[in-house]
Amino acid sequence: MNYTIIYMHYFFPETRHYLKWNIEPHIILPKDFCPVKEKLFPGDEINNAGKAEKSPYREKRNIPGVLVLTGKTYGTTGKGKSARKYYKCVPYDIRLPCILIPYDDNRKTFSKHTVNIFVLFTIKCWENKHPEGVLSNVIGKVDISENFYEYELYCKNLFISMRSFNKAAKNKTNNINMGEHISLLLNGGKCSNRKDRHIFSIDPEGTVDIDDAMGITTAKDVIGEEVVIISIYIANVPQILSILNLWREMTGRVSTIYLPNKKVSMLPTVLSEGIMSLKEGETRIAFAMDIHIKRNSVIDVAYSNVIIDVTKNYVYDEKKLLVNKDYNDILSTTRKIIDYSKTNSIVSYVETVEDSHDIVAYYMMMMNHMCGKELKKMEAGIYRSVTCDHSESTGTNTPLPKDLKNFVNIWKNTHSEYTTYGNQKGHELIAGGLDVYAQITSPIRRLVDVINMSYIQMNMGLLDRTPEMAAVLETEGRMDSLNISMRNIRKVQTNCALLGYCGDASTDKMVEGYVVGYLEQDKEYTIYIPLLKLITRIISDGTYEMHNKYRYSIHVFNEENSLHKKIRLQFC
């Protein structure tokens, strides 16, 4: 019997006009092949004859796009009062052709002013000249910033429903006695009781999802010398997910997303702002790192699960914090550790400790570094790898402000990503370079930290691995997807923060920034604006010196559809 092997290939147009395209893997198609004639969509799986066998876009729901109400219409769905006009929808994906979608524009207003709208749609068919679609949701007018924020989430595949997780978390927390489970952990030897210790957190004002806290105590070693113990406490998210049996509910969200108008939490708020958050006066399960210090040197680091009652939630540099004895003891001890480390060529995570921001940064970096070492021994976990191209420089002999020089070097010469054990490259930006770095200190806000904490606790025999947990830990094998999602989150946060800052279109703003790049063929300048921590681009016929500081005017056009058209900068 003879079999015909049909190899599948994938169609990828360069733009929605289908003037150029790629077929992967490459094949020679029939001479009369025409993707428009074949009604192909980006990513379609095609056979050797160029016919679609499978079409992901035809099956996809909630495709983001802009429904153009300010342009012409393209006929109607029929006749009579129920007939709706067809409008052009421009998809966010620049490879996807424009779609005709029926829409009833029955604005109940006397205003004749028309504005385009952000929408979600599905593809219905492609039988005529243009493909047709159906609206699945109307996000809202393009001139409203909050609508743009939500649209951005859909465009970057970051809108993931929490309905099931929220329902399950609420049900579990309402029907469980955490006190009983804490007693079981204490009696089973998997937790130690530290409810009598003075423990405090330091966070920005208004923080309700509190990941970390700290405390200090002293002890005597075997020869009677004093040992200072600084303890870092992290919300024990893996333990609580196991107690509540919620691992199976973990969604595809990899991080909390911070928008100007709201926070899109990775976890249900009943968890992130409730039983996981290290709030003062509440009994909590925490993962502790005890740093043993003798004669200003770190002599040991130990990990454990603990039960704590946080004494106080402080705000960075608030007056009550600055007069707190334990805080000042930690501050003075940390300064001595840094001085000793510099003198003896030992890793020092920051140059100096000036305030509470530096204190928190120092111990978060230390814990991520130390836990990275533990994970490396286990050959498990997810690592933050940051490498620098030291052959590159800022490209100028002009003295630059320290902050600008650091930014330009990082922006031009640094590559960062999440990796598995076999591909981890250390973190070159911290303390002159660390051999290994694995994030663990923000498990309420970041999935990577949950995974890393789980591995360490399983290795210590403090957490039982379950099939539901294993499904979440498999993220370790999906680094490409994780890195794409994290980059998209940073981009969405940056874009939305810029639009949020610019605010009212009736008031143009002035900012200062530096020229950090130039493309001569496009007359395009790359500008860094320190106030916004933003990189943007300006096309100008003028001549401006590299790394010089200039003033720029920001102009806002809210009715435009995309960010680069909504916000435009000009040299003053």
Q: What's the pLDDT score for residue 43?
A: 96
Residue 1 has pLDDT above 70, yes or no: no
Which amino acid type is present at position 247? W
- The hierarchical CATH code for the domain 64-141 is 2.40.50
Distance CA 436, CA 377 (A): 11
- Cβ proximity of 376 and 384 under 8 Å: no
Q: Which residues contact 389 (CB under 8 A, 6 or more apart)?
A: 413, 414, 415
Kind of pairing, strands 52-54 and 263-264?
unpaired
Confidence of residue 568 (pLDDT cuts 50, 70, 90): confident
pLDDT at 400 over 80: no
Its sign, for the CA torsion 337, 339, 340, 341, is: positive
Place of tokens 């300010």: 70
Q: Which tokens in the block code for residue 323?
A: 């007069």
Would you say 318 and 202 are in contact if contact means Cβ atoms under 8 Å apart?
A: no
Q: Tell me the C-alpha distance between 452 and 473, whole Å.
A: 9
Quick one: three-class SS letters along 166-181?
HHHHHHHHHCCCHHHH
User: Where in 223-379 does DSSP place strands (E)?
Assistant: 226-235, 257-258, 263-264, 283-294, 297-309, 312-315
pLDDT for 563 beyond 70: yes
Confidence of residue 112 (pLDDT cuts 50, 70, 90): low
Distance CA 303, CA 413 (A): 36
Strand, coil or helix: 163: helix
Q: Are 419 and 461 in contact (CB under 8 A)?
A: no
CATH of domain 503-571: 2.40.50
SS3 366: helix
Range name among 149-158, 171-180, 236-245 with the lowest pLDDT average: 171-180
pLDDT value of residue 530:
87
Residue 403, pLDDT above cutoff 80:
no
User: Which two tokens mark 265?
Assistant: 């939490």
Q: Which of 107, 77, 71 is CA-nearest to residue 89?
A: 71
**Number of other residues whose CB lies within 10 A of the CB of residue 43:** 17
Higher pLDDT among residues 536 and 237, named by residue: 237
In the predicted structure, residue 109 carries a pLDDT above the cut 60: no
pLDDT score of 205 more than 60? yes
Read off the pLDDT of residues 40-87 as tens digits, 9 standing for 90 and up: 999 999 998 899 999 999 999 999 999 999 989 999 988 877 889 999
> Which residues in 70-109 are b (16+ Cβ under 10 Å) and which e?
eeebbeeeeeeeeeebbbbbbbbbebbbbbbbbbeeeeee
CB-side neighbour CA atoms (13 Å) of 220: 4
Range list for CATH 2.40.50 in the chain: 64-141, 503-571
Does residue 317 surpass a pLDDT of 60?
Answer: yes
What are the tokens at 441?
């200190």
d(CA 173, CA 59): 37
Segment 548-571 shows an average pLDDT of 90
Which amino acid, one-letter code, is at 40? L
Helix (H) or strand (E) holding 33: none
Task: Give the integer Cα–Cα distance in Å for 326 and 370.
Answer: 23
SS (H, E, C) 192-230: EECCCCCCEEEECCCCCCCCEEEEEEEEECCCCCEEEEE
Q: Are 373 and 421 in contact (CB under 8 A)?
A: no
The whole-angstrom separation of Cα 68 and Cα 313 is 49
* CB contact set of 328 (below 8 Å; sequence gap of 6+): 322
Please tell me the predicted confidence (pLDDT) of residue 441: 98
Cis-peptide, bond into residue 401, ω within 30° of zero: no
In 3-state terms, the chain is what percent helix, strand and coil (to 5)?
30, 30, 40
Per-residue pLDDT reduced to its tens digit, 480-503: 999 999 999 999 999 999 899 887
Q: Which amino acid is at 322?
A: L
551 vs 390, which has greater pLDDT?
551
Question: Which of 14-23, 528-537, 544-553 shows the lowest mean pLDDT across its residues?
Answer: 528-537
pLDDT at 102: 96
pLDDT digits (tens, 9 = 90+) for 334-388: 999 999 999 998 989 999 999 999 999 999 999 999 999 999 999 999 999 999 8
Please tell me the distance from the alpha carbon of residue 176 to that of residue 341, in angstroms, as a whole number: 47
Task: Give the pLDDT band (50/70/90) at residue 397.
Answer: low
Greatest Cα pair distance in the chain: 95
pLDDT at 510: 87
d(CA 181, CA 349): 37
**pLDDT at 282 exceeding the cut of 70:** yes
pLDDT of residue 226: 94
Give yes or no for residue 567 having a pLDDT over 80. yes
pLDDT per position as a tens digit, 157-178: 999 999 999 999 999 999 999 8
> What pLDDT sits at residue 294?
96
Query: Is pLDDT larger for residue 563 or for residue 442?
Result: 442
Res 503: pLDDT: 73
Scored b (16 or more CB within 10 A) or e, 297-315 reads ebeebebbbbbbbbbbbbb
